[in-house]
């Protein structure tokens, strides 16, 4: 059984007040279509990389919105930019450019 005890466990909650949302507004200016996402999961269902790893391209959008940058940085490295998700996306999100924009932003701001 998991020991909750009295040891000092790091807080597992997303502290929305503390997370970094600056990246989101930067990315939105590059790729506004990300705001159309309805979290339906079509992208993840069809994702080539997602069949082999725990990569979940839908979560990229959520992580960005929540400001979970550290996880986000690791996630986007798994994408092959093949574009299948974009062809399937019912909301018209420009997923290839979204991933690329996040990479550019991460490099630019060195986050």
Rounded to the nearest 10 degrees, what angle do helices 57-66 and 95-109 cross at?
40
Q: Which range binds other proteins by CB under 8 A, 4-12, 15-23, 42-50, 63-71?
A: 42-50
Positive or negative, the Cα torsion across 25, 31, 36, 42? negative
Binder among 48, 70, 71, 109 for other proteins (CB under 8 A): 48
Span 53-92, contacts to other proteins by CB under 8 A: 53-54, 56, 58-59, 76-84, 87-92
Binder among 22, 29, 39, 71 for other proteins (CB under 8 A): 39
CB 33 within 8 A of CB 94: yes
Size of the site for other proteins (CB under 8 A): 48
Determine which helix (DSSP H) or strand (DSSP E) holds 50, and give its type and residue range.
Answer: helix 48-52
CB 98 within 8 A of CB 82: no
Beta-carbon contacts of residue 104 (< 8 Å; ≥ 6 apart): 30
Q: Which range binds other proteins by CB under 8 A, 4-12, 21-29, 36-44, 63-71?
A: 36-44
CB 88 within 8 A of CB 43: yes
Q: Which range binds other proteins by CB under 8 A, 3-11, 12-20, 21-29, 48-56?
A: 48-56
> Which positions touch other proteins (CB under 8 A)?
30-33, 36, 38-54, 56, 58-59, 76-84, 87-92, 94, 96-97, 99-100, 103-104, 107
């Amino acid at each position: 059984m998991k020991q909750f005890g009295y040891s000092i466990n790091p807080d597992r909650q997303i502290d929305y007040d503390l997370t970094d949302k600056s990246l989101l507004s930067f990315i939105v200016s590059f790729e506004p279509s990300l705001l159309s996402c309805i979290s339906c999961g079509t992208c993840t269902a069809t994702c080539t990389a997602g069949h082999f790893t725990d990569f979940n391209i839908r979560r990229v959008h959520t992580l960005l919105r929540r400001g979970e940058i550290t996880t986000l940085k690791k996630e986007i490295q798994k994408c092959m930019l093949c574009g299948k998700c974009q062809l399937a996306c019912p909301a018209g999100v420009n997923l290839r450019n979204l991933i690329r924009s996040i990479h550019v932003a991460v490099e630019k701001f060195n986050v």
